[in-house]
Amino acid sequence: MAKGSLTSQIKNSPYLLLTNIGQLATLRGEAGPRRRAALSDIGLIQDAAVLCAGGRIAAVGKQRELLRDPWLRKKLRKNQRKIQEIDCAGRVVLPGLIDSHTHPAFMGPRLIDFEKRTAGATYEEIAAAGGGIRSSVAAVRKASRPQLAEHVLHGLQAMLEQGTTTVEAKSGYGLTAKDEIKSLQAIHDAAARWPGTVVPTLLAAHVPPVEFAGKEDEYIEMVCQRIIPEAAKKRLAGFVDVFCERGAFTLEQSERVLAAAQRHGLGTRAHVCQFTPSKLDRLLACRPASLDHMDCVGEDDVALLAERQTVATLLPGANYFLGHREFLQARRLIDSGVAVALATDYNPGTSPTPSMPFVISLACTHMQMSVAEAIAASTMNAACALKLAARKGSIEPGKDADLVVFDFKDYREIGYWVAWNRCAQVIVGGEEVLAAN
């Protein structure tokens, strides 16, 4: 860091200084998806400090170098109250975790489905018998917007407590124009009461609602002609998503949904290859920011994906909760040059966890990812999956000051401890929003 460089960046904004960071994972580097060997370079600095000003990162470096800055030394010497200092006591600091795939707009757990599964039924069998996604729909349709917002906020709060500061949040349990719009509005209402950043996604094409049984094309028509235009007009969604899967929507129907999103200026993403393989070329033509699940993606498509900016978002929480013995071998994707992100898939049917550290642990224990790779996939690459890499995903000057202090001495502990929340402090936009006990 150049001496005397701080004054011009700080001006009169409130600032926060994190000192005595044992290990700081900066994720510095190009603001694009990290691939192959670059995925494991998390820009680690030992004995670091970070200065935040005006909600942004102002300076990052070795503590002894950063504190040598004449302007900062003067301020600290005078003990001006304007500088809030957090002594990290040798712990680990990471960029705020980014959960780029969640379904928080639901009202409660699906315990009847869960009991059927513990008795041996598969997810697809339960869905075919009227359970699955459809069993969350009645409660969401009945709920008021404030009631639904309360449930969304509950989920967001649980995520924050585990170190997540940016969340992609989908609708998808309303499945009528009115209830999908209500779900997006509830996501906005919850986001306004939550300190982190929320990226809302319209997932009206989650499954065909029962009243459209045998008339799936008519439902897709309604999604394309009515729901997407309304969500775009009211500025309720940044992205449109579709569940391209047996029992949900065909490739052709999915393509229609994503093309309609593009016509209305919205970003695209898709759930694909979770239970059955699909060809990706036609979906990729709609320039999706991410393709998610990807458990049974074919070899040809892996090569195709490696040439694209589209991120493959892997959701091992669903494999875990559904008791799948096979986890996607992330190694194959990473070694082929695919940009890979990790997310929770927080939802009441297949992945009821708000915890990114748990997902990181699963990636390490079941998917052959190193801890460093899993961290990059949960920060920088997840930011790319949400088109937010210019602001989020790394701790570099100019970026949003979203940081998490974990009660570890070594960053690798985030993949090591299981189901033990070690998140100690969360800073969002340069403000401490979750304090150490």
Chain positions contacting Zn ion, by CB under 5 A:
345
Give 292 or 400: the residue with its C-beta nearer to Zn ion. Answer: 292
CB of 317 to Zn ion, least distance (A): 10
Give 248 or 388: the residue with its C-beta nearer to Zn ion. Answer: 248
Give 26 or 100: the residue with its C-beta nearer to Zn ion. Answer: 100
Give the chain's end-to-end CA distance (angstroms, integer): 33
Q: Are 350 and 322 contacting, i.e. CB atoms less than 8 angstroms apart? A: yes
CB of 315 to Zn ion, least distance (A): 7
Give 270 or 371: the residue with its C-beta nearer to Zn ion. Answer: 270
CB of 389 to Zn ion, least distance (A): 22
CB of 101 to Zn ion, least distance (A): 6
**Is residue 12 classed as helix, strand or coil in its secondary structure?**
coil
Contacts of 46 (CB under 8 A, 6+ apart): 22, 23, 24, 62
Q: Are 403 and 18 contacting, i.e. CB atoms less than 8 angstroms apart? A: yes
Give 295 or 345: the residue with its C-beta nearer to Zn ion. Answer: 345
CB of 350 to Zn ion, least distance (A): 8
Q: Distance between CA atoms of 400 and 403, rounded to whole angstroms?
A: 9
Q: What is the per-residue DSSP string for 244-299? A: ESTTSB-HHHHHHHHHHHHHTT-EEEEEESSSS----HHHHTT--SEEEE-TT--H
Give 102 or 361: the residue with its C-beta nearer to Zn ion. Answer: 102
Q: Distance between CA atoms of 335 and 323, rounded to whole angstroms?
A: 26
Give 57 or 244: the residue with its C-beta nearer to Zn ion. Answer: 244
Residue at 5: amino acid letter: S
Residue 51 CA, distance from chain mean position? 25
Give 245 or 345: the residue with its C-beta nearer to Zn ion. Answer: 345
Closest residue by Cα to residue 104 from 154, 138, 144, 141? 154
Q: Distance between CA atoms of 166 and 383, rounded to whole angstroms?
A: 9
Q: Distance between CA atoms of 100 and 346, rounded to whole angstroms?
A: 10
CB of 322 to Zn ion, least distance (A): 12
CB of 82 to Zn ion, least distance (A): 44
Q: Distance between CA atoms of 305 and 339, rounded to whole angstroms?
A: 8
Residue 321: in which H helix or E strand, if any? helix 316-321
CB of 133 to Zn ion, least distance (A): 10
Give 69 or 345: the residue with its C-beta nearer to Zn ion. Answer: 345
Closest residue by Cα to residue 162 from 434, 427, 423, 431? 423
Residue 61: exposure state from Cβ atoms within 10 A (0-12, 13-18, ≥19): buried
Q: Distance between CA atoms of 367 and 43, rounded to whole angstroms?
A: 23
CB of 382 to Zn ion, least distance (A): 14
Q: Left if phi > 0, otherwise alpha if psi is -120 to 50, otherwise beta: which for 175? A: left
Residue 348 CA, distance from chain mean position? 17
**Which residue's Cβ lies closest to Zn ion?**
345
CB of 394 to Zn ion, least distance (A): 26
Give 149 or 169: the residue with its C-beta nearer to Zn ion. Answer: 169
